[in-house]
Structure 1
Amino acid sequence: MELVVKSVAAASLKTATLVVPVGEGRKLGNTAKAIDEATAGALSAVLKRGDLAGKVGQTLLLQGLPGLKAERVLLVGVGKEDSLGDRNWRKVINSVLTVLKGLAGSDASLALDDIAVSGRDAHYGKTRLLAETLLDGEYVFDLYKSQKVEPRALKKITLLVEKTGQAEVERAVKHATAIAAGMRFTRDLGNQPPNICHPSYLAEQAKGLGKAYKALKVEVLDEKKIKDLGMGAFYAVGQGSDQPPRLIVMQYQGGKKSEKPFVLVGKGITFDTGGISLKPGAGMDEMKYDMGGAASVFGTLRAVLDLQLPINLVCLLACAENMPSGGATRPGDIVTTMSGQTVEILNTDAEGRLVLCDTLTYAERFKPQAVIDIATLTGACIVALGSHTSGLMGNNDDLIDQLLDAGKRADDRAWQLPLFDEYQEQLDSPFADIANIGGPKAGSITAGCFLSRFAKAYHWAHLDIAGTAWNSGGKDKGATGRPVPLLTQYLLDRANA
C-alpha cells in the first residue's frame, strides 16, 4: 500500500473514500466543518439523528454526499478533545483500516490533520504512528496456505495536511515506511515454520541482504569456526541438533570509518525444545518464535539500510537449534566460554544466555559505542510485565534512558528492571565460575545478571522480549515485529545526534 501526502482542500479532492473525524458529543473540527458546509449541512443532519456519537473507533459510512468529489465519506469517532493518546489513536486508525479493507475503492484520503494526539507533535510524531499502524495493519502471512488471501482493492491512501506541516509529515511517512518494512521482514521470519527456518536459513537471509544492499558486509561463521573461537557455551547449545549453529555477522558502514559502531546482538534459537530439560508439549510449537531477537535485528537493519542512516552498525545473530539427542548437552555439564569463564549448565532450557554470552564477548572486537542484545529470554519476564512491555536491563544509565525514551516515542515501550549485586549471588556454582540459572526467584533479572558478566568491556543493554515478540494462540497468533520500532528510533536518535 502506498502512502501519499498532499496539501489540498478535502472537499475538492476526488477520492473513493474520504475519512473525516468526529469528536465525542458529535463535535466537528475545522476540516469536518468545511466538509459539512460543502455538503449543505449533510454531516450535521446525520449526526443530529444520533447515528454516531463520536466515541473512539466508531465509524459510519455515507454514500454520495452532494457538493463533494469523494464517492463516500467515512466518519470516524476520535473521542473527547485533548484525551486522545497513542492507544486510542491506534484504535481510530485500525477502525478506519478495517472499513477500508472491505470497500471496493482502490484509494482513500484521510482528513485527520487537525486531530491532536496527546504527547505527540502535530505533524511528525502523530503521522508516524498513523502510518506505521496503517502499513503494519496490511500484514498477511499466507505463504503455506493453498488458498491465498485475495488481493485487496485498496492500493493508496492520501494523507491530507496543511502546507506548513507537509515536510514533517513526509519525513514521518518515509521513516514509518522503512520501519513497517522492517517489521514485515521480522514477522515473516518469525512466522516461518522451524523445519524451514533453521540457522542455515537465517544465514542465507543475511547473504540475501548483503546482495541487495551494497553497503552491507556479511560473514557467516560455521560450527567449526564457533568451536575454534573457544565459544564453548554457544557450541554446546547446538550440539544436540542435526541443524548446525551459525554466528551471523553483518556490518553496515553509513558513518565515517573512524566512528565506533553500535552493535545489536540477536538471540536466534530457531526452535527450542528445552533440550534434555524438555519443555511441556502444550504450546511448544510457539518455540519457533525463540529466534525473535535475531528476527528483530534483521528488521531493524533493514530499516537502517532503507533509510541509509549515517551511522556504523554491526549486527550479530547467535543462531542455533536446541534439541534433545544422544549428543545434547546434559544438566550438570560444564563448558568454557570465549571469555574464559566456566559455566555449569544446570538447565539446558536456559540456552539463550549461553549463545548470547559468547556473542557478547565476540562483540568486543568491534570496539562499540554501545551493545544491545535482544532476546526472547525468559518466561519470567512475561509474568512480570505481561505481553505489552519489554524488559530492559543494562550497565549504563544513559543508554538505558535513551532506550526507554525511544520506546516511549515509538510506542514500543520497555521497562527497566534492576541488576543489583544481590541478584548475582543466585548464580553461584560450587563447581564452575557461574551457573546458567539462578533459581525460581527473579528469573528475568538473574538472566540479565548472567549476561552482564560478559559485557563489562562496553556500555550494554539487554532487552527481554519474551512477552512482546509474538502473540499466542487464537486468530491473532503470530510474530508482532517488535521491538523494531524501538530499536530503529534509538538508531534514528543516534544518527540525528
Structure 2
Amino acid sequence: MEFTIKAGAPEKLKNGCVVAGVFSGGELSASARALDKAADGAISTILARGDLDDKAGATLMLHALPGLATPRVLLVSLGKSDALSDKAYRDAVSAAARQLGASPAEDAAFCLAEAEVPGRDLAWRLAQATQILLDSTYRCDELKSKRDESRKDVRQIVFVTRAKIDDNLKEAVREGQAIAEGMALAKTLGNLPGNVCTPGYLATTAKKLAKDHKIKVEVLERADMEKLGMGSLLSVARGSHEPPKFIILNYKGGKAKDKPVVLVGKGITFDTGGISLKPGEGMDEMKYDMCGAASVLGTFKAIARMELPINVVGLIPTTENMPGGSAIKPGDIVTSMSGQTIEILNTDAEGRLILCDALTYAERFEPAAVVDIATLTGACIIALGNLTSGLLANDDQLAAELLASGQAAGDKAWQLPLWDEYQDMLKSNFADIPNIGSKGAGTITAACFLARFTKAYKWAHLDIAGTAWKSGADKGATGRPVPLLTRFLIERASR
C-alpha cells in the first residue's frame, strides 16, 4: 500500500473511492459538505433517511452520486463533533479500512484526518490513519496451500488535506508505515507455529533484520551462556532438543556517547509449562509466549525504517520450555548470572528465569533505561483483561513516559504497584529467592522477582500476557506493544 498527501477538492477527485466523515445527527464534515454540494444535496437526502448510524465507526457506501468524478463515496460516522476522542477516531479509520478491503476500488482518497481530535494535531491523525490502514492489510497465510484471494486491498491511499503539506506531515506518514511494518513482523513471528519459529529461527530473523538495516547483531550459543554463568536461563532450556540462543541487537542512531535504551524481550518459542505441565486445552496458543521477543524485533524494524536518532540495544533470551528427563523439576535450585540462587517451585514460571539473566547482562551497556516485555502472567489477564498491558517500574518518570506513549499510540498500559511490601511474598527456605510468590498478586510478585536483578539502572516491565494475541475466531498475534515502544523511543529521540 502506497501513501501520498495531496491538497485538493474532494468533489473533483477521480479515485476509486472517496472516504469522508459524518458526525452525529447527519452533521457533515468539511469534505462531506463539499461532496454533498457537488452532488446537489444527494448525501444529505440519503442521511436524512437514517441509513447511517451515529456511533463512531458506522459506515455507508454510496455509488454513482451525481456530479462527482468518483464512483464511490464511503461515509464514516465520527460520533459527536464536540466529543471526538482518540478511540472514536481510530474506530472510524478502522471501519473505513475494513470497508475499503471489501471494495473493488484499487485506490482511495481519505479525508477523515481533517476531523479535529482534542489534543491531537494533523500529524498524529495522519500517522494513526497510515498505521491502521496498512495494518488492516496484514495476512498470515504463508503456510496455507492456497491463499485467500477474495480480499483485494486498496493499493494506493491519498490523504486529502487543506493544510500546507510540509516535512512534518510527510514524516508522520512514514512513521505510521514504519510502525505498521514493525507490527507485521511481530505478528508473523507470533503466528508462526513452534516447529517453525524456534530459537534458531528468531536468531536468523534477527540476522536478516540486521543485514537489511543499520543494526549490529550477535548470537550467543549455549557454551557462551555457560561461560557467562547464565544458569537460570539455561535451566529452562534443559528439557528441549532445540538449542537456546541469546540474541543481541545494537542500533546506533544516536551520538556515540549517548547511553542506550535497552529492550529485553521474552523469547519462549513454545511453553508446555515443563514438568509443571499446562492443561492440553489451548496449549497451542503457547507459541505466542515469544511475543515479547517478537515485539523487540518489530520495534527495531520500525526505528531502523525511520532512522531514528537514538541508541537502542535489544536483548532476546530464547528457548523452548519442555518436559523431559533432563528438564528442571520443582524444588531444583539454580544459580543466575547475578549470583543469586533461585528455588524452582513451578517450572511454568519460566519467563522470569530467562529474563533475569538478560536483565543482569543489560548492566554492561550502562543503559539510560531498560524495558522488558513479556507474556509473563495469567494474573495480568485477570487483573486487566485483554485491552491493557500491565506496567511496573522502579522509576516513576520512566513509567510516566511509557504510559503517555501508550496513550498516544493507542496501545495502552496501566501501572501496578511495585512496593517493597510485596517483596515479602518472595521467600525461600533453601535459596535466595523462589521463582513464584505466595498466593495472590501474581503479576506484581513476578515483577518483584525481576526487580531483584535491576537495581543498577532505571527499569520498567511490560506484562503483555493479555494483549499480545487474540483467541477465538480472531485468533492471532496483535503486534503489541510495538506502537507503544516505538512512540516511547520517538519521544526519547526528540529530547
TM category, shorter? over 0.9
Aligned to 1:105: 105
Alignment of 1:37-436 (within 5 A): 37-121=37-121, 123-150=122-149, 152-164=152-164, 167-213=167-213, 215-436=214-435
Secondary structure of the 2:130 match is helix
Q: Distance in 2 between matches of 1:467 and 1:48?
A: 42
Deviation at 1:72, TM superposition (A): 1.4
Which stretch shows the higher mean deviation, 425-434 or 59-68? 59-68
Secondary structure of the 2:61 match is strand
- Runs (5+) with no aligned partner, structure 2: none
Paired residues of 2:183 and 2:295 also in contact (CA < 8 A): yes
**Equivalent residue letter for 1:52:** L
Deviation at 1:444, TM superposition (A): 0.5
TM-score scaled to structure 2, two decimals?
A: 0.97
Q: Distance in 1 between matches of 2:316 and 2:171?
A: 30
Deviation at 1:153, TM superposition (A): 4.9
Paired residues of 1:393 and 1:417 also in contact (CA < 8 A): yes
Give the alignment partner of residue 491 of structure 1, picking from 469, 486, 489: 489
Aligned to 2:441: 442
Q: Distance in 2 between matches of 1:34 and 1:300?
A: 40
The 1:167/1:254 distance shift into structure 2, 3 A limit, reads closer
1:149-184 per-position Cα deviation (integer Å, ceiling 9, x unaligned): 216152111110123365443222110100000000
1:190-236 per-position Cα deviation (integer Å, ceiling 9, x unaligned): 000000111111111111112112x2111000111111110110000
Paired residues of 2:7 and 2:165 also in contact (CA < 8 A): no
Which stretch shows the higher mean deviation, 351-360 or 154-163? 154-163
1:47-71 per-position Cα deviation (integer Å, ceiling 9, x unaligned): 2333334432222222222222111
Secondary structure of the 1:164 match is coil
Q: Distance in 1 between matches of 2:71 and 2:59?
A: 16
Deviation at 1:345, TM superposition (A): 0.6
**Equivalent residue letter for 1:109:** A
Q: Distance in 1 between matches of 2:360 and 2:48?
A: 67
Paired residues of 1:277 and 1:348 also in contact (CA < 8 A): yes
Paired residues of 2:5 and 2:165 also in contact (CA < 8 A): no
Q: Distance in 1 between matches of 2:7 and 2:268?
A: 48
1:118-153 per-position Cα deviation (integer Å, ceiling 9, x unaligned): 3422x0122222221111111111111111021615
Secondary structure of the 1:25 match is helix
Q: Distance in 2 between matches of 1:113 and 1:211?
A: 36
Paired residues of 1:82 and 1:117 also in contact (CA < 8 A): no
CA RMSD in angstroms, aligned pairs only: 1.3
Q: Distance in 2 between matches of 1:413 and 1:68?
A: 41
**Equivalent residue letter for 2:109:** S
The 1:41/1:167 distance shift into structure 2, 3 A limit, reads farther
Q: Distance in 2 between matches of 1:360 and 1:59?
A: 48
Aligned to 2:476: 478
Paired residues of 1:131 and 1:176 also in contact (CA < 8 A): yes
Q: Distance in 1 between matches of 2:449 and 2:346?
A: 14
Q: Distance in 2 between matches of 1:471 and 1:53?
A: 28
Q: Distance in 1 between matches of 2:53 and 2:417?
A: 46
Deviation at 1:420, TM superposition (A): 0.9
Paired residues of 2:93 and 2:112 also in contact (CA < 8 A): no
TM-score scaled to structure 1, two decimals?
A: 0.97
Aligned to 1:451: 450
Which stretch shows the higher mean deviation, 477-486 or 394-403? 394-403
Q: Distance in 1 between matches of 2:110 and 2:307?
A: 29
